[in-house]
Amino acid sequence: MQPRWQPPPAPRRGAPRPAARLLALLLLLGLEAAAAPVDVGVQRRLLQQAARAALHFFNFRAGSPSALQVLSAVQEGRVWVNPEKGCKVELVFSTERYNPQDGEERLGKCSARVFFKNQKPRPAINVTCIRLTEKKTRQQEDYLLYKQMKQLKNPLDAVSIPDSHGNIDPSLRPMWDLAFLGSSYVMWEKTTQSSHYNLAQLSAVKQWKTNDGAIDFDYTVLLHEFSTQEIIPCHIHLVWSPGKPLRVKYNCQELQLPEGSGAEEGSAGAPTQLSSF
């Protein structure tokens, strides 16, 4: 007597069907194939680049001259490169306070996710930092700087900070710190996965009187682009009040392009969101 035919057992509730399992496997293999292997040297450079970009973004969003941070060291991180989309970086790094006081703990710690979109500027960034200056102390220092700025007479239209010997007059330090803050926005917007910038000099400062009490001034900075070693002048308009979002507008002249064709304009607005990878 032949065995009676039995239908195959129905899949358990919630269990993936064979076709769904196969599709998920193919998608996974496709993603792994899209992410190209990363050379150790390239990975190290991208981690450094991502840390710098994240700090530019953090400094701008903090909107506080007393909260300015600079990179100390990258501690750990991972890099994914997709030839069609760009590269995504997850990392942890330590920071130092830009203008530390004597005897204080200098190191902070940040974690960030950064997405560079194939040589396009303005990377998408999500960054969180801890162990920084306490909020109350930061507010007090910002207000002191605000008072110093309000007491300044209108600076000359032609001024160089630092001077030719690399020194910054103490009376002009608030102006430099605010210029650094506003330039952080410009440097974040212009950063790509292969180009990064540093503030080299502040010049041509003009402070404006305002009815709302904000610090309002125009200035020109020279940005040093490391990969090309070019010095790029940028005209920046900055409006700042303690505890309020920073407002920045700028125009940069790219030296490698013909005159009149290299201007790049930007203004501070909502940050980009991290793209899917």
Domain containing 69 — which CATH number?
A: 3.10.450.10
pLDDT at 260: 33
pLDDT at 18: 53
Asked if residue 30 is part of any domain, the answer here is: no
Bridge partners (DSSP) listed for residue 11: none
Asked if residue 246 is part of any domain, the answer here is: yes
pTM of the model: 0.78
Asked if residue 2 is part of any domain, the answer here is: no
Asked if residue 13 is part of any domain, the answer here is: no
* Whether residue 168 sits in one domain with residue 126: no
pLDDT at 62: 92
- Write out the H or E segment, with its range, that includes residue 63: none
* Whether residue 157 sits in one domain with residue 61: no
| Among candidate residues 199, 138, 207, 137, the one with its CA nearest the CA of residue 172 | 207
Domain stop point among 97, 130, 163: 130
pLDDT at 127: 96
Tell me the residue range of the domain where 68 lies.
40-130
* Whether residue 122 sits in one domain with residue 88: yes
pLDDT at 23: 47
Asked if residue 155 is part of any domain, the answer here is: yes
pLDDT at 171: 79
Asked if residue 272 is part of any domain, the answer here is: no
* Whether residue 187 sits in one domain with residue 114: no
The mean pLDDT values, 10 residues at a time, for the chain of 277 residues are 54 51 46 60 93 96 92 94 91 89 72 93 94 82 88 64 85 87 96 93 83 87 92 95 92 61 49 36
Cis bond before residue 162 (omega within 30° of 0): yes
Asked if residue 135 is part of any domain, the answer here is: no
What domain count does the chain have? 2
Q: In what order do the strands lie in the sheet with 215-225?
A: 160-161, 197-208, 215-225, 230-240, 247-253, 263-267
